[in-house]
């Protein structure tokens, strides 16, 4: 069990905050990794400040009704905190910690948050009275297992942050209006990807993965062509075709269809090939092929396809490969039986070879 998890507890009652905190400490976690808040405004401020420092919480325990304590919060303050926490980082695991969640004026909204994946677990305060020895541990064990199984999400999250940082600090050699449009579109898609990945971890639907692959593909399309005119794409893709073919054959079994430029003069494949003469082009071509198989040939998507997509986009966008987060993804792949594992392993090895030792 990892001991570096971060915890966030928000409740207007110090008594109930201490109950949760004592349970966490009893399981061997450090008090220094626990942040507590007693007011809605304080909770939102702390979450925002931590996010600005790129500090995110693994587990959040949030009361719903803040109207009973001395700070006279609102009946639905907890929902506001949950929404704010989710919007900051959808990969945090948020649990409600309440005895009121199933009341008539709260239940519908609570269930909607569960459906969206914003809430992943319910800790009923009344169970503390009825099942004092087990009310917390069994449910928290499930949360710990979920966190461990989805640990790779943090690599995706921090890769998104690095891409975001690059886009916000770099000039893309475009007219100001076009640059703003492209940057905003990529950032919007990355945010959508994060939300859909969280939902996938709730529903386990391959359809979600297919959509995510398409969104990554769109981001790669925009980035590879942001500085090129249609004529540039055509000319450079022709000029780079032989180099790209040689690079591809170094890492993957040759398939003529994967490298066939075809009649479309501004296809994503042409954009990828026109973007670079570096060997990384092989992985862009492979991702384009995977995406086409998922979208047009009804291949079944697996998680390794998505991790491959995230790393390909990071590889193309980030010039400093040491900024690419891949340790947790590698740990996932080592245990994986996914069909996409061989491609992912090749990409992990390639990126590792580009990181200064």
Q: Tens of pLDDT along 77-89?
A: 999 999 999 999 9
> Bridge partners of 35?
8
Q: Tens of pLDDT along 106-122?
A: 899 999 999 999 999 98
Q: Any idea what DSSP says for residue 10?
A: E
Considering the domain architecture, whether residues 61 and 186 belong to the same structural domain is answered as no
% residues pLDDT > 70 (the chain):
94
pTM: 0.93
Considering the domain architecture, whether residues 160 and 24 belong to the same structural domain is answered as no
Q: Are the C-beta atoms of 33 and 4 separated by less than 8 Å?
A: yes
Looking up tokens 């000319």 gives 235
Q: For residue 2, is it within any domain?
A: no
User: CA dist 332 to 150, 292, 316, Å?
Assistant: 9, 24, 22
Q: Is the pLDDT of residue 52 over 70?
A: yes
Residue 217: the pLDDT is 98
Domain boundary among the residues 100, 123, 149 is at 149
Residue 72: the pLDDT is 67
For range 236-253, the mean pLDDT? 93
Considering the domain architecture, whether residues 252 and 105 belong to the same structural domain is answered as no
Residue 346: the pLDDT is 98
Q: Residue 130 — pLDDT band, cuts 50, 70, 90?
A: low
Considering the domain architecture, whether residues 98 and 216 belong to the same structural domain is answered as no
Q: Are the C-beta atoms of 6 and 35 separated by less than 8 Å?
A: yes
Residue 132: the pLDDT is 60
Q: Tens of pLDDT along 178-218?
A: 888 999 999 999 999 999 999 998 888 889 999 999 999 99
Q: What total of structural domains would you count in the chain?
A: 2
Sign of the torsion formed by the C-alpha atoms of 341, 302, 286 and 165: negative
Considering the domain architecture, whether residues 188 and 45 belong to the same structural domain is answered as no
Helices (H), the chain: 14-26, 40-52, 77-88, 107-116, 125-130, 137-149, 152-169, 176-203, 206-225, 230-251, 256-259, 268-275, 281-296, 303-317, 327-335, 341-354
Q: Can you give the three-state secondary structure of 151-177, one letter per residue?
A: CHHHHHHHHHHHHHHHHHHCCCCCCHH
Considering the domain architecture, whether residues 209 and 284 belong to the same structural domain is answered as yes
Q: Residue 1 — pLDDT band, cuts 50, 70, 90?
A: very low
For range 280-289, the mean pLDDT? 96
Q: Residue 70 — pLDDT band, cuts 50, 70, 90?
A: low
For range 132-160, the mean pLDDT? 90
Q: Tens of pLDDT along 132-144?
A: 667 788 889 999 9
The CATH number that applies at residue 134 is 3.40.50.2300
Domain boundary among the residues 111, 133, 149 is at 149
């Amino acid at each position: 069990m990892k001991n570096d998890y971060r915890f966030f507890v928000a409740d207007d009652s110090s008594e109930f905050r201490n109950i949760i905190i004592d349970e966490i400490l009893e399981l061997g976690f450090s008090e220094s990794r626990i942040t507590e808040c007693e007011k809605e405004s304080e909770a939102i401020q702390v979450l925002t400040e931590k996010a600005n420092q790129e500090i995110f919480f693994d587990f959040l325990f949030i009361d719903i009704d803040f109207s009973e304590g001395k700070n006279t919060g609102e009946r639905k303050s907890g929902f506001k905190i949950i929404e704010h926490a989710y919007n900051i980082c959808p990969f945090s695991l948020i649990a409600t910690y309440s005895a009121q969640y199933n009341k008539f004026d709260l239940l519908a909204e609570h269930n909607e948050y569960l459906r969206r994946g914003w809430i992943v677990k319910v800790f009923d305060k009344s169970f503390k009275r009825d099942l004092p020895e087990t009310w917390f541990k069994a449910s928290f064990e499930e949360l710990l297992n979920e966190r461990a199984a989805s640990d790779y999400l943090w690599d995706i999250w921090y890769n998104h942050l690095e891409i975001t940082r690059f886009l916000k600090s770099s000039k893309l050699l475009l007219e100001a209006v076009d640059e703003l449009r492209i940057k905003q579109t990529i950032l919007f898609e990355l945010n959508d990807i994060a939300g859909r990945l969280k939902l996938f971890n709730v529903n386990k639907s391959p359809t979600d993965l297919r959509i995510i692959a398409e969104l990554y593909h769109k981001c790669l399309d925009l980035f590879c062509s942001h500085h090129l005119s249609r004529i540039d794409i055509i000319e450079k893709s022709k000029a780079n075709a032989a180099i790209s073919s040689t690079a591809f054959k170094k890492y993957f079994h040759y398939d003529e269809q994967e490298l066939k430029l075809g009649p479309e003069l501004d296809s994503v494949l042409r954009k990828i090939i026109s973007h670079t003469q570096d060997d990384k082009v092989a992985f862009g071509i492979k991702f384009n092929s995977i995406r086409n198989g998922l979208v047009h040939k009804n291949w079944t998507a697996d998680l390794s396809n998505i991790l491959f997509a995230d790393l390909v986009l990071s590889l193309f966008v980030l010039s400093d490969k040491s900024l690419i987060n891949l340790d947790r993804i590698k740990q996932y792949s080592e245990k994986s039986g996914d069909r996409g594992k061989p491609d992912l392993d090749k990409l992990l090895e390639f990126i590792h070879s580009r990181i200064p030792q």
